[in-house]
Amino acid sequence: MRKNIVAGNWKMNKTLQEGIALAKELNEALANEKPNCDVIICTPFIHLASVTPLVDAAKIGVGAENCADKASGAYTGEVSAEMVASTGAKYVILGHSERRAYYGETVAILEEKVKLALANGLTPIFCIGEVLEEREANKQNEVVAAQMESVFSLSAEDFSKIVLAYEPVWAIGTGKTASPEQAQEIHAFIRSIVADKYGKEIADNTSILYGGSCKPSNAKELFANPDVDGGLIGGAALKVSDFKGIIDAFNA
């Protein structure tokens, strides 16, 4: 059975002290609850070693927002998958649209990152999605299929270890949200190409998250779709009341 997941992506926000406080607050908010989904927080690198031991691992997973496409060496400023894993973190976001757009991450680079993450026992949350011009040209399926090439070189066994996140780039931080119908349509398409590549069983067991202005007010409607298995949450992950409101969409 595939998992329902609500993952927070803090992006480049929160000092170390603020991040520790946010993680503690979330931990307390979930202390007496049993969420009906896996909860993950993906923090800046500097927070990982401090936040991981602070939270109840049975309720909150911790991940990085990126890792390097090299195992180690003279790559000043980079952080390897092995380093991420050494903090106790279990997840890593790869291929986020901001990494693709601002830092030129390609299909080939992301293929290396995914392999290194898996080799170090991390679960990649692999992001795919189209920009506004591509959506307006009705090319979203083509774009998403091309981006999936980074993970389609994996064995079926390795592919079954990853989580996918569809993010309509035109709906990130813009206040626009894909309608539940648009979200379901492309999530179903993504699942269909996974089935074509790896078979129906693996496709049925792959969690596909929605990422694009998901809030407590629209989470339940989005998550009600049969192929939407949760959310990759940006802005709303920075405030515990909002993030918990999205987690609670699975409890109602």
Contacts of 85 (CB under 8 A, 6+ apart): 120, 121, 122
Q: Would you list the DSSP string of 104-154?
A: ---HHHHHHHHHHHHHTT-EEEEEE---HHHHHTT-HHHHHHHHGGGTTTS
Annotated catalytic residue: which of 98, 105, 130, 167? 167
Annotated binding site: 9-11, 173, 213, 234-235
* CA angle, 226 then 188 then 251, to 5°: 25
Residues of the binding site for substrate: 9-11, 173, 213, 234-235
Task: For 86-114, give one letter per residue: b (16+ CB within 10 A) or e.
Answer: ebebbbbbbbbbbbbeeeebebebbbbbb
Q: Which residue has the tokens 């539940």?
A: 180
Containing H/E element for 5? strand 5-9
Quick check: is 201 catalytic?
no
Ordered alpha helix ranges (H), the chain: 16-29, 45-51, 81-86, 97-103, 107-119, 132-136, 140-147, 156-159, 180-198, 200-204, 216-223, 240-247
For 34, 111, 162, 212, the CA distances from 143, given in Å and listed in that order, are 37, 16, 20, 17
Choice among 65, 96, 98, 111 that is catalytic: 96
Q: Is 167 a catalytic residue?
A: yes
The CA distance from 51 to 63, in Å, is 10
Q: How far is CA 182 from the centre of its chain?
A: 19
Enter the DSSP assignment of 236: G
Catalytic sites, residue numbers: 96, 167
